[in-house]
Amino acid sequence: MKKLKYIFIFLLIVTLFQSVFVTTSFGANTADSNQSKTDATDITIYSPSCVLIESSTGEILYQKNANEVRYPASTTKMMTAILALENCQLSDVATVSHNAIFSIPADYVVANLREGEQLTIEQLLNVLLIPSANDAAIVLAEHISGSVSKFADLMNEKAKEIGCQHTHFVNPNGIHNKNHTSTAYDLALIARYAMNNPTFREIVKKTKYTLPATNKYSKADRSFNTTNDLLIKNTSKSKSNYYYPDAIGVKTGYTGEAGNCLVSAANKNGMEVISVVLGADITDTGLSEKFLDSITLLNYAFDNYEVKTIYEKNSVLKEVQVFGATKETRNLNVLVKDGIGIFLEKGVNTDNLQAEVTLDKLKAPITAGSVIGKISYTVDENTYTSELIAQSDVLPSNFLPILFRVILIAIILYLIYVLLKPRKKGRNKKLRTKNSKSSKYKSSKGRKRTNEYHYSNINIR
């Protein structure tokens, strides 16, 4: 009996806990993760090192010597831009030093900055990333860290934070140094990180930029064009053999030792990919291998993969009824806040995909837009998640639901108290014994009185 009593108490406590705190979870299945990847052996890549990744997951779609250590040239400037964006305000003003002007070798690209000239961080970032100005990189490095060497330390710390394992920077611009190295895969990680910054994304897709007049340069005639031919349309004023309509950046690079380098990003039908080619050359027909290879890789991605939209942003997941709400507001639409798109090979059936959905214990009041749960899918070891939010306000009906809960809790606590209250066995036994003796006594007295009564009524003759 004792065991049954404690089991009952435990169940009551669990019931009480669930009624107040517990959240609801359902549909916990994952998709099959053993989907085979498309065979990429039939594509031709000229460059000695390259990699292709999908941006949202970081999944590698194609690689060729992706971890081979090479010289990154001006693709280095992606990291310089990251640190400028994370350590400065765009409106901050930096001053061009003597070193920024005269430390750049004669055959490297510059923005024709003047010693003592003052420019905003935003202006410097534009000339850093669009025409690939090496003097702008030095100005940013000195403004942030005080010197190029200290800034290089900061670059290497950030590279490790991002996940780079084979990268070592010694300057902010990629001017050749035998100790200044990286890999195609590490540069893809850096580009993926940088493209999460809206300002970086906006700058690297531009094709032109003009510096305004400054304190040291009175004209606004310093205009620059992008070095990324994937972004240049064929028009009457410009011509490109490599225009790629879906390209959105990112950064070119070249030194004699590094060869031609290109980090590219493209977005099509909601899928974004990043390609990196290092050490490219010129074909026998005079075409640039870095652009040809990049186009081949981007086409391969979009021809064979897609992002399948499961839920659009703010789409309705389901309708639920909220406890304690008014009749007019109790039916609540649960929305998928950010939407969910799943990266897959083309042709993969998604009908059997099941989500894991967790909803809070819903009770009025609820504010429109408030987070009330989470939805996630797991496919090929990648997890796609979105918060769930309330579409509308949910108003409490009155105090009865609260009163009902209070009464329920009081009843449960009282039952627990009664079940746990100890019984005084010794006292009960004494009371039973005493009552028994008293009954016997009364019974015998009753019999005596009865006998006496009968006796007294006998006629004596």
Give me the active site residues, please. Answer: 74, 77, 132
Write out the two tokens for 293: 């290879």
For 61-99, letters b (16+ CB in 10 Å) and e give bbbbbbeeebbbbbbbbbbbbbbbbeebeeeeebebbeb
Comparing C-alpha atoms, which of 394, 375, 383, 379 is closest to residue 317?
Answer: 375
Check: CB of residue 394 under 8 Å from CB of residue 364: yes
3-state secondary structure at position 19: helix
- The angle at the Cα of 182, spanning 283 to 192, to the nearest 5 degrees, equals 90
Distance of CA 289 to the CA centre of its chain: 35
Using the structure block, give the residue that is written with the tokens 């064929």. 234
CA-wise closest residue to 263 among 243, 439, 434, 253: 253
Helix (H, G, I), strand (E, B) or coil at 261: strand
State CA 414 to chain mean position distance: 47
Distance of CA 459 to the CA centre of its chain: 114
- β-strand partners of 52: 62, 275
Strand, helix or coil for residue 89: coil
Q: Tell me phi and psi for residue 323, to 5 degrees.
A: -65, 140
| Distance in angstroms (rounded) separating the CA atoms of residues 289 and 269 | 26
User: Which of 337, 336, 271 shows the shortest CA–CA distance to 301?
Assistant: 271
Tell me the HSE value of 151 on the side-chain side, using a 13 A CA sphere: 24
Tokens of 397: 């009906």
Return d(Cα 360, Cα 442) in angstroms, integer: 68
What residues have CB less than 8 Å from 3, skipping those under 6 apart? Answer: none
Listing from the earlier edge strand, what are the strands of the sheet with 382-390? 24-26, 356-359, 371-379, 382-390, 331-336, 315-321
Q: What are phi and psi of 319, to 5 degrees?
A: -110, 135
> Which token pair is 316?
């309705």
> What are the two backbone dihedrals, phi and then psi, of residue 217, each rounded to the nearest 5 degrees?
-145, 110
In whole angstroms, give the CA distance from residue 17 to residue 6. Answer: 16
Three-class SS state of 392: coil
Half-sphere exposure of 377 (CA within 13 A, CB side): 23
